[in-house]
Structure 1
Amino acid sequence: MIARQPIVDAGHQIVGYELFNRSQASGDHTAASDVSLVFNALSHVGDEDLFGKLFLFVNCTHASLGGGHLDLVNPERVVLEIPAVDNASAQDIEHRLPILAQLRQRGFRLAFGQYVLEPAYALWRPLAAFVKLDLSLIPNSQLKEVVKAARRSTDAALIAEKVETAEQYDRVSSLGVQLFQGYWFAKPTLVKTRIVSPSQAHIIQLINLVRNQASTAEIEEVLKKDAGLAFNLLRLINSAGFGYAREVTSFRQAVMLLGLKKLFRWAALLLTATKSSDGQATIGNMAVVRGRLMELLAEQVMTPEDADNAFVSGIFSLLDVMLGVPMSQAVEMLTLPQSVMDVLVHQQGPYAPLLELASACELGDEDRFNSACQALQLSGQQANWAHLQALAWADQMVTQA
C-alpha cells in the first residue's frame, strides 16, 4: 500500500505528490522501507503510473541515500526529502554533506524541513531546492520571521505543509509562500500496488549471469523464459519514473540500455519483493511454452523479426490472468509493437493463427488444431514437433534454474 498526497501551487494546481509507505503495520520508517517504496512505485501494476509527469517527493532516511535503488529512477523527477540528524554534532552534519552534494549533482532535488534554518545546518542550505515549513510546529507569532529567514538564507522554494484550515492557508499565502500541502487541499489517498511475481529461481539465475558478466544473448534467454521477469523489466524501463525517452519493445534492447550494473540492482530488489506462488508459476510456465511454440512455428513461415514478436505475443498472452485485469488494460502497462497488441487484445493480425494453434495444443482440441495448421500452411506433424520442443525447452529451463 502506497499513500499519495498532492502538493499544489497558489492556483491549486497539482505540481507533485509526496509518497508514503503504508505497507508496514508498524509504520517504522527505515532504509528498507525507503527502498521498498521506490521500487514498488517503479514496478507498480495498476491503472495509473505513480510517477506521472509531476515531481515525486520521497521521504528518506540517511541510511538509504546511498542505495542503488536510486539509480533506477529519473533524478529530474524525484525530490528527496532529507531528515534532520538525530542528536548530531556539527561534525556529524558535515560528514553527511558529500553524499547530499553528490545526489544534487546527479540531478536529484533535495527538500529539507525548517530545521535547515538552524545555524548547525548552514552547510546544507545551498543544496536546498525546497524547504518545507510544518505549520503544526510553527506558532503563528513566529511564522512571518521563519518565512523571512528561509528566504534570506536559501534560494529554495517554500512549501507550507500540514495546512488544515482556510485561515492557515490565507496566513501563509499572504507571506508569499507559493506551494502547499495538507488536509485542507487533500488527504493522502491509498493506492494498492502489485508486482507480477516471476520465479525466484529465475531471478537468482539472472543475478548470477549478471555477476559473471554474461553476454546479452544469455541474459535475454532467461528473460524469454519467465513471463513475470520479462514483464517487470519492460514495465520498469518504459515507466515515467525511469525516464528513458524512447519506447523499448525488445528484451535485448532493454538489457543493453539498462546495463549490467543497473540490471543487477533491479534483479536484487525484485528478488526481495517477490513471493513464490504455485499458481502464478503454473501460469508463467504455460506462457513460456506458448511463446516458444509460437516462435518456433513463426521461424518456419515468417521473418526473424516476426519470430521475435511471435514469442513476445505468446509469453504475454496470459498477462490478463496473471494480473487479474482485462487484457486491454493489461497491455497498456507495456510498450509493445502494434502487431503484438492486435493479437493480444483483438486476436487479430499475423500472429493470431499462431496463438490459436498454441491454445489448441493446450486444450487438445483437434478441430481447432487442424484449422490453425491450415491457416498457417503447416502440417500437423510440424506443429506437434514444435509443441514438443517448446515443452522440452520450458522444462529444461526449470531444471537449469
Structure 2
Amino acid sequence: MYGYIARQPIFAADKTVYGFELLFRDGEANSFPDIDADEATSKLLLQHHLLLGVESLTGNKPAFINFSADTLLHRFPTSINPASTVIEILETVPASPELLAVCQSLHSQGYKLALDDHDFDPKWDEFLPYITYVKIDVLQFNLLEISRYLRRIEGYKLVLLAEKVETAEQFEKLKMMGFVLFQGYLFARPEMMKQKQLSSNKANLLALIAEASKPELDFELLAGICQRDVGLSYKLLRFVNNSQFAARQPISSLKLAMVSMGEPELKKFIALLALANLADGKPDARLTVALVRARFCDLLAEQKHMSNNPPSAFLTGLFSNVHEIIEQPQPLMLEQLPLQTEIKQALLAQSGLLGQMLQLTLAFERGDWETTVNLEQQISGIAELAEVYQQAVRWADSILVS
C-alpha cells in the first residue's frame, strides 16, 4: 500500500528551485481528497516524515507544509526539523492570542513561518514580527491592491512569495514589486510522488526508535503508548518473560514491566517491535533473518563484555536488512534513523568492531567457513559460534510466536 503526495516547486527570481510545497493526495489522480486540513497534514507527516523525512522528498530544500488551527494549537509534531520545514499557516486559521503565542514559541525554536494565501487583514499585523514568508495569491488581488499592502508592511523583514503566477508578464511585474519567490503553473504543476505507506500505528512505533536512542527513557510515555494497544501490551509482557530479567518480581503494571527489564533490554524491544510491524503483519522471512542477526550479534557482544546503552550490537544486526523490508535505499533510511554513528558505519561500511561482528554474522549465515574462521580470529574472545547461532534462532522463534 502506498501513500501519495504532490510537490510543487517554488522558484527564485532566477528560476532556480528554492523549495517545494508538499500537498497530501489520496491516490494517483493528483487531486486533494475530501478530508479536513488537520487530517491531510497528519497523514502527510505520518506517511512521509516519520518514515524517511520530508528532506527525502525535497532534495534537502525547504519543505512548505500547510498547518491548520488544531494542528498548530494542539498537535504540532515537534519532531519536525526546523531547518528543513516551513510552517504554512492556512488562511482559514483564526487569528487569536493563543495562535500568536504558538507562533512566538515556534519562532523562538528556529521554525520559519509563512502566512498562506494572505488576505491583507490588519488582524495579522501583530504576527508579522514572527513571520518569514508572506504568500500572496496574485489572482485574488490586482496589482494595485498588492502594491498598497506592500507599502503598509515595508517596515517588516518579510520574504514575498507570489502564488498562482500564470504568465511571464505577471512574473516580470511581480519581480519589480519586490517578490523574490514564485509558485504557479508558469513554472510547474504539482508533481505526483508515491512512497510505501505506514499506518499511523506503524509510524508511531517507528518514531519510538528515537525514544530508544535517548540516554534516559521516559517510562510514563512508553507505558502510555503500550496501554493504548492490547497487542503491544501482550508482546511487551511476553518479551519480559523471555528476557533474562523475567520472574524477578510479579508484574502489576506495564511501567513496572518496563522498569524490570532495564533500559538496554527495553530498547531492544522497542526496536524489534517497530521493525516487526513494518512487515505489514504478513509472514516475512526477512524479519526472521533480522531477529536472528540481532540476537547473534547481541550474544557475541556479551562474550566481548560489551554493555552499551542503547545495545549497539543488537541494533546493528536488527537493522542490517530493514531497508529491504521497507523498500528504501539503506543510506537514505539510515540518514533518518537516530542510530549511533558506529552502528551506521557498521551497516554501511561494515567497519569497526560492530562491522566485524556483522561480517561474521553474514559469513556464518551463508556458510562461508573460511571467512568465518578468519573473522573469529580477528575479533578474538568469542567461541561456540554454532551454539550461539542456535540460541539466536530459538530466541527469534519465541519472539515471532503469536
TM-score, structure 1 as length reference: 0.68
Structure 2 residue aligned with 1:389: 391
1:169 deviates by: 0.1
- The amino acid across from 1:278 in the alignment is K
Distance in 2 separating the partners of 1:125 and 1:332: 35
Distance in 2 separating the partners of 1:37 and 1:47: 9
Distance in 2 separating the partners of 1:199 and 1:128: 34
Structure 2 residue aligned with 1:353: 360
Q: What does 1:105-254 align with in structure 2 at a 5 Å threshold?
A: 105-113=108-116, 115-151=118-154, 154-194=156-196, 203=205, 208-209=222-223, 212=255, 214=259, 216-226=263-273, 228=275
Deviation by residue 1:257-311 (Cα, 9 ceiling, x = unmatched): xxxxxxxxxxxxxx9xx6833144x422321112212332454468667x96553
1:199 deviates by: 9.2
Structure 1 residue aligned with 2:287: 284
1:321 deviates by: 3.0
1:30 corresponds to 2:41: no
The 3 A distance-change label for structure 1 pair 41 and 315 is same
Deviation by residue 1:140-197 (Cα, 9 ceiling, x = unmatched): 4534334334436x44221111112111101111112112111222222223223578
- List runs of 5+ in structure 2 lacking aligned partners: 209-220, 226-254
Deviation by residue 1:1-26 (Cα, 9 ceiling, x = unmatched): 22222222222233322111113672
Whether the 8 Å CA contact 2:118–2:134 is kept in 1: the answer is: no
The 3 A distance-change label for structure 1 pair 219 and 279 is same
1:37 deviates by: 1.6
SS of aligned partner of 1:133: strand
Distance in 1 separating the partners of 2:118 and 2:331: 49
Whether the 8 Å CA contact 1:159–1:179 is kept in 2: the answer is: yes
Distance in 2 separating the partners of 1:93 and 1:386: 62
Whether the 8 Å CA contact 1:85–1:93 is kept in 2: the answer is: no
Larger mean Cα displacement after TM superposition, 56-65 or 115-124: 115-124
Distance in 1 separating the partners of 2:363 and 2:79: 38
- List runs of 5+ in structure 1 lacking aligned partners: 230-270, 361-367
- The amino acid across from 1:37 in the alignment is L
Structure 1 residue aligned with 2:372: 372
Distance in 2 separating the partners of 1:284 and 1:53: 31
- The amino acid across from 1:372 in the alignment is T
Larger mean Cα displacement after TM superposition, 160-169 or 50-59: 50-59
Distance in 1 separating the partners of 2:195 and 2:74: 22
1:338 corresponds to 2:340: no
SS of aligned partner of 1:71: coil
Distance in 1 separating the partners of 2:204 and 2:103: 36
Q: What does 1:27-106 align with in structure 2 at a 5 Å threshold?
A: 27-45=34-52, 49-50=56-57, 52-85=59-92, 93-94=96-97, 96-106=99-109
The 3 A distance-change label for structure 1 pair 198 and 394 is farther
Whether the 8 Å CA contact 2:12–2:182 is kept in 1: the answer is: yes
Larger mean Cα displacement after TM superposition, 187-196 or 131-140: 187-196
* Alignment length (residue pairs): 340
Deviation by residue 1:197-256 (Cα, 9 ceiling, x = unmatched): 89969949x764466384532431213534727xxxxxxxxxxxxxxxxxxxxxxxxxxx
Distance in 2 separating the partners of 1:131 and 1:70: 22
2:10 to 7, 10, 21: 7
The 3 A distance-change label for structure 1 pair 359 and 46 is farther
Q: CA RMSD in A?
A: 4.2
Distance in 1 separating the partners of 2:298 and 2:160: 56
The 3 A distance-change label for structure 1 pair 370 and 382 is farther
